[in-house]
Amino acid sequence: MATSSSQDAPQPLNLLSTQQTTLLLLLSVLAAVHVGQWLLRQRRRQPWSSPPGPFPWPLIGNAAALGRASHLSFARLARRYGDVFQIRLGTCPVVVLNGESAIHQALVQQGAVFADRPPFASFRVVSGGRSMAFGHYSERWKSQRRAAHGTLRAFSTRQPRSRRQLEGHALGEARELVAALVRRSAGGAFLDPTQPVLVAVANVMSAVCFGCRYRHDDSEFLELLSHNEEFGRTVGAGSLVDVLPWLRLFPNPVRTTFREFEQLNRNFCNFVLDKFRRHRESLPPGAVPRDMMDALILSAEKKAAAGGSGDGRAGLDLEDVPATVTDIFGASQDTLSTALLWLLILFTRYPDVQARVQAELDRVVGRDRLPCMGDQPNLPYVMAFLYETMRFSSFLPVTIPHATTANTFVLGYYIPKNTVVFVNQWSVNHDPVKWSNPEDFDPARFLDEDGSINKDLASSVMIFSVGKRRCIGEELAKMLLFLFISVLAHQCNFKANQNEPSKMSFSYGLTIKPKSFKIHVSLRESMDLLDRAVQKLQAEEACQ
């Protein structure tokens, strides 16, 4: 009985061992935290150390900490770890660049080193792997970009004739957009401008790329354009499709998203491929190109006839033409429509800014004609409004992910070859050191004391990236945004729906898009001026 009693009694030695174990674990954790902080300080002191960053969790890394608005998460992490820091998304190490100094040192001073793209699954899907925007940096890529850039400028901004044609396309679509907005606002109604804006902008790019336009009620065209948001969510920085590839192995929302992404890319590619085939069939040898598709086809055929090697160094290969046009059309219409929606929503949220834009247009342009590109140097407040909208919205907050082509350093931190790099453009546009009260919307910040545009500040706005991957459509985008907003403000008044929440809400992906909002649009006078301008344009084209 004594033995049994002694075995059943609590054992002080075992209880003490448990306490000791718990205490040792606590001490180990505290020591690990202390050592981690010490190592972090040492890394910051050593000029050639790897970038610091937060602790990554198993399997997911830091993916859960980014949230929907990754640019804001990156800005918060930069305040703690500095403008160059490292995170882990799944098993993929990622270096994030914030601030003008770090981004300039990487993308401009070491442009070729930071010009590659990561081998992400979503990137391989775009245009069957022939995409210029998502393709790997190589001699073939450089040739493809040169051909695309030169042809885009030739059919938009390079020559006076092409600029006039582009102005004509923009004017015609602005007229259709005004008519659609006013018609849907009849009787004091409020409308969501997203669809008419999307069609108007896409029609300008369709005219440049394919030589045609579509009706605002064309169901197939609307369906094609309706997937911009899904595309941006999949290829944007931090997309789970790319950084957690194992999620595509079993049923879950990520696998469903990726399959939908594959399908929408097939649909878009087939749309452009059909245009490509029709252009080839109707384009005689040596003909004058009717649009950008024609010009790229003729250039590729010329290279083939000259015995081009196919390595991409002598020009564009014929197989790359559809993908190149897909890049230009897809990226341009998405970026421009997003920017124009921002311009409209800020018009309605800041009626004093709208009134000042209209007053400047009335003073410089008058009421008996429409604004044109020749008026731009004399409309500094209109341009200030455009630049402030780009800065304030930062609607392209983080660039398409980059990758390094060699071992390198940024701000003293070592970044090895093949590292994925995220570039936080939002951090440049909202840097309180450069911009006073960056969260305030104030177009006047871009005006000098004499009322002219401050070119240094305007050039500091980062929205189209910099370096080797700088957007080839930047000049075209700024021109079209100026034309659209000038004509719209000259002809219309825009009013917000007072029943909507005062706080704006957005969807996040490759771009920041305003979520559905409603406005009322009314004519300042009548449609006569727009009608006469379009009729004059059509008569001039008929005479050419």
Ordered mean pLDDT values, 10 residues apiece, the chain (544 residues): 38 39 48 51 59 90 85 94 94 94 97 94 83 91 90 83 87 92 91 93 92 88 80 69 76 80 87 93 84 90 72 72 91 90 94 97 94 94 97 94 96 95 97 95 95 94 95 92 95 89 80 89 87 74 55
Res 252: pLDDT? 78
DSSP secondary structure string, 370-384?
A: ---GGGGGG-HHHHH
Res 539: pLDDT? 64
Res 237: pLDDT? 65
> Residue 102 in contact with residue 84, Cβ under 8 Å?
yes
Nearest to 211 by CA among 169, 174, 249, 252: 169
> Residue 122 in contact with residue 254, Cβ under 8 Å?
no
Domain boundaries, the chain: 133-393+443-543
DSSP secondary structure string, 404-449?
A: -SS-EEETTEEE-TT-EEEEEHHHHHT-TTTSSSTTS--GGGGB-T
Known binding-site positions for heme: 471
Burial class (CB in 10 A: 0-12, 13-18, 19+), 385: buried
Which three-class secondary structure string do you get for 181-244?
A: HHHHCHHHCCECCHHHHHHHHHHHHHHHHHCCCCCCCCHHHHHHHCCHHHHHHHHCCCCHHHHC
The torsion region of residue 493 among left (phi > 0), alpha (psi -120 to 50) and beta comes to beta
The three-point CA angle 30-32-38 to 5° equals 105
Distance (Å, rounded) from C-alpha 332 to C-alpha 275?
A: 17
Stated as kind and residue range, the H or E segment containing 349 is helix 321-349
> How far, CA to CA in Å, does 501 sit from each of 349, 366, 498, 508?
11, 36, 8, 19
User: Please, which residues bridge with residue 398 across strands?
Assistant: 424
Q: At what angle do helices 228-235 and 321-349 cross, to 10 degrees?
A: 100
Distance (Å, rounded) from C-alpha 480 to C-alpha 485?
A: 8
Res 346: pLDDT? 95
Distance (Å, rounded) from C-alpha 444 to C-alpha 392?
A: 13
Res 87: pLDDT? 94
DSSP secondary structure string, 110-151?
A: TTTTT-B----HHHHHGGGGT-SSSSPPSHHHHHHHHHHHHH
Instruction: Give this prediction's pTM.
Output: 0.85
Nearest to 216 by CA among 245, 196, 193, 194: 196
> How far, CA to CA in Å, does 406 sit from each of 106, 114, 134, 210, 412?
12, 8, 19, 39, 15
Domain 133-393+443-543: homologous superfamily in CATH: Cytochrome P450 (1.10.630.10)
What are the structure tokens assigned to 94, written together? 């990622």
Give the CA count within 13 Å in the CB-facing half-sphere of 232. Answer: 24
What are the structure tokens assigned to 496, written together? 């917000």
Nearest to 262 by CA among 223, 220, 227: 227
Give the CA count within 13 Å in the CB-facing half-sphere of 320. Answer: 28
Exposure string of 174-198, with b = 16+ CB inside 10 Å and e = fewer, is bbbbbbbbbebbeeeebbebbbbbb
Known binding-site positions: 471
Res 59: pLDDT? 81
Distance (Å, rounded) from C-alpha 128 to C-alpha 351?
A: 46
